[in-house]
Chains A and B, each alone.
Chain A
């Protein structure tokens, strides 16, 4: 059981570039989430999904898009990266609304 995996682990982008962060889970969880974690800010929810084919906005969705085409995968896209999106991104999953299993994180720097 790999749990929750994320790719890539690290990435450096230039302002205006785009990228997609990949998240996969092998626990058959219905719910998946994308968070960002910034110093002094705590974890903040970007988008989430309560099942395959569904997505919804969290606390800080602007500048991000998501897709959940398969139950085990949840993709986070940045269409035009900005320095304010420099952060550590965590994917998580849960069965219904229970406690979250977090992936190892993606450290993104936007120059």
Chain B
């Protein structure tokens, strides 16, 4: 079976750094995505990793270790607007077309306090 685990909730302080972890046990791994979802809104794409290592995009970075089945999303200089749910999704080969389909974790709700 396919399994993706993330913490349910996290709290952090404005201006701080927070790391949201995602562990997965899947077969046919073909990349990992992070999405941000504000309450009542649609998910929006943040980052993508398919090879091991760190991808940086402004205040957001994402790391992947395929051998450990582990990824994290790092948010720096936290702002109040970063309060949202963060979804980890693994793309699985041979499920849903040539590149595969996404299996989503349940999401981590991040609250940023002043």
Contact = CB atoms under 8 A, between A and B. Distances in A.
B33 interface: yes
A97 B106 CA distance: 21
Interface stretch (B12-20, B58-66, B70-78, B93-101): B93-101
Given A48-B96, A58-B96, A99-B33, A43 B42 contact: no
A58 B2 CA distance: 14
A48 B101 contact: yes
Interface size class for chain A?
20 to 34
Contacts of B96: 45, 48, 50, 56, 58, 97
A45 B106 contact: no
Interface size class for chain B?
20 to 34
B91 A102 contact: no
A97 B96 CA distance: 9
Contacts of B45: 99-101
Interface of B: 30, 33, 41-45, 48, 87, 89, 91, 96-102, 104-107
B97 A50 contact: yes
Contacts of A2: none
* Of B42, B97, B101, B106, most A-chain CB atoms within 10 Å: B42
Nearest to A88: B40
A24 B101 CA distance: 20
A103 B43 CA distance: 9
Given A102-B44, A103-B42, A43 B97 contact: no
